[in-house]
Structure 1
């Protein structure tokens, strides 16, 4: 079954507050069936298609694109974003969004 995944780049300015954001938003994310796939701290960007700085890259996966939209539109998520994400992140870039088929090895 296909899922919808986003590859995201951030400029995290405050790791402590950003960690609080991750903790606060995770129950909402999991309630919607979402999950993080990969998560990297990036020390050097060799090529970019945007001018914004990127020091964190991760994937975020949802059962569908419409569920992803409902997650980001959820008033509870918006409150968490306002309290923790906005003050801890300088910029964010949606690098790509795409459908993925789950592989079972």
Structure 2
């Protein structure tokens, strides 16, 4: 079993967002997390949010507890504050679910 999230972002600074990804990935892996799919989106045809979405990806963890621990980890929060907060205008959780992957 795995706990998976489908996220939509409005990335406003691609270079800073790439730095975020590079800095957070080792922390993500230490919690058993990984990225599955990652798309740059040019056109959204239907959405349940007023926020723009130009990036969609999946992120998976062994379980919800490890996901929660990752997103509250002090090292991750430092990386998030340094890169994510200034490179992403909005984030939308599209789906969270437990899967058999």
Q: Smaller-chain TM-score range?
A: over 0.9
SS of residue in 2 equivalent to 1:94: strand
Where structure 2 has 5 or more consecutive residues not aligned to the other structure, the ranges are none
Deviation, structure 1 residue 24: 0.2
The answer as to 2:70 corresponding to 1:71 is: yes
Taking the aligned partners of 1:10 and 1:25, their CA distance within structure 2 comes to 16
> Alignment RMSD, CA only?
0.4
Across the two proteins, how many residue pairs are aligned to each other? 101
SS of residue paired to 1:50: coil
Q: Residues of 2 paired with 1:20 and 1:43: CA distance?
A: 22
Detail structure 1 runs of 4+ shifted over 6 Å in the superposition. none
- The SS at the match of 1:77 is helix
Residues in 1 aligned to 2:9 and 2:35: alpha-carbon distance in whole angstroms: 14
The aligned residue for residue 47 of structure 1 is 46
Scaled by the length of structure 1, what TM-score is found? 0.95
Normalization by structure 2: what TM-score? Answer: 0.99
1:62 aligned partner: 61
Structure 2 equivalent of residue 3 of structure 1: 2
